[in-house]
Amino acid sequence: MLDEHDFRRAAAVALDSLKRHLIAREDEQHAGLEVEDQDGALRVLFEKLEDKFVIAPNATVREIRVSATGSHFQLLWDSRTEKFIFPPTGENLIPLIDRLISEHH
């Protein structure tokens, strides 16, 4: 398990990578979404729907939490891949968010 300092650093890198991915997706595909960085958390807002996803680190339990489509997802650090993954599916952060956005539209 990561200590708090390492967790915060890994979470910041993961969220920054996700933010850049979503901004590129927004620009390339005119996806109808907007990404906001708010106090260390990302919010994905949808133009056509009054809905949002919130992706935020939780240092207390060393996970990244995703609130989306009326559900919550907890991603844990996988030291083997050095990524945060959603254990039930094995998806890391970016593929999980991409899937949730696709299912949301």
CATH number, domain containing residue 56: 3.30.920.10
- Please tell me the total count of domains within the chain: 1
Burial of 49 (0-12, 13-18, 19+ CB in 10 A): exposed
pTM: 0.90
pLDDT tens-place string over residues 17-28:
999 999 887 776
Task: Give the pLDDT score at 2.
Answer: 85
Structural domain of 88: 4-104
Kindly report, residue by residue over 56-93, the tens digit of the pLDDT: 999 999 999 999 978 999 999 999 999 999 999 999 99
Bigger pLDDT: 72 or 32? Answer: 72
Q: How would residue 49 be classed by pLDDT, with cut points 50, 70 and 90?
A: low
